[in-house]
Amino acid sequence: MPSRSPLPRHKILAVSHDIGGAQAVYPVIPRLRSKPNLHVDIIAGGFAQKVFARLRPENASEDWSDAKIDEYLDKHRPDLLLSSTSWKSRLEQGFRNHAQVRGISSVVVIDFWSNYRMRWHDATYRYEDGQDHVCVMDAQTATEMQKEGYPIEKIYVTGQPHLERCYQRAVVHQSNSGPTSELAVLFLTISLVALGLKDDPVIPIQIVCEALGRLHKTSRQPVSLLIRPHPHETPAPEFLARIQAVTPPGVTAQLADRTRPILEQLRQCDVVMGYVTMGLFEARSLGKRAIAIKLADHPSELIAAMDDAGIDLVPFDADHIATSLSGSARGARNSPGNTHQGATAAIAKLCCDLLDDRQGC
| Mean pLDDT rounded to a whole number for the chain | 90
330-352 pLDDT, tens per residue? 666 666 668 899 999 999 999 99
69-80 pLDDT, tens per residue? 999 999 999 999
Handedness of CA 312, 300, 192, 337 (dihedral sign): positive
Rounded CA-CA distance 268/273 in Å is 14
The set of residues, in sequence order, having a beta carbon less than 8 Å from that of 217 and lying 6+ positions away, is 250
Nearest Cα to 187, choosing from 98, 125, 256, 118? 256
- Residue 126, amino acid: R
Decide if pLDDT at 177 tops 50. Answer: no
Rounded CA-CA distance 119/297 in Å is 19
299-335 pLDDT, tens per residue? 999 999 999 999 999 999 999 999 999 887 666 666 6
Rounded CA-CA distance 298/313 in Å is 10
201-249 pLDDT, tens per residue? 888 899 999 999 999 999 999 999 999 988 777 888 899 999 999 999 9
Decide if pLDDT at 111 tops 70. Answer: yes
Decide if pLDDT at 1 tops 90. Answer: no
What pLDDT, on the 0 to 100 scale, is given for residue 144? 97
pTM: 0.90
What pLDDT, on the 0 to 100 scale, is given for residue 178? 45
Rounded CA-CA distance 176/359 in Å is 51
Q: What is the DSSP string of 249-269?
A: TTEEEEE--TTS-HHHHHHH-
Question: What is the distance between the terminal CA atoms of the chain, rounded to a whole angstrom?
Answer: 26
| pLDDT bucket at 110, cuts 50 / 70 / 90 | very high
| pLDDT bucket at 179, cuts 50 / 70 / 90 | very low
- Residue 312 CA, chain-centre distance (Å), reads 18
DSSP 110: -
Range with lowest mean pLDDT among 6-10, 65-69, 315-319: 6-10
Domains of the chain, first to last: 10-159+342-354 (3.40.50.2000), 183-336 (3.40.50.2000)
HSE value, Cβ hemisphere, 13 Å, CA-based, for 9: 7
Decide if pLDDT at 196 tops 70. Answer: no
Nearest Cα to 158, choosing from 27, 13, 37, 53? 27
Rounded CA-CA distance 66/151 in Å is 27
Tell me whether residue 178 is exposed, middle or buried, using C-beta atoms within 10 angstroms of its C-beta: 0 to 12, 13 to 18, 19 or more. Answer: exposed
Decide if pLDDT at 143 tops 60. Answer: yes
Length of the chain: 361
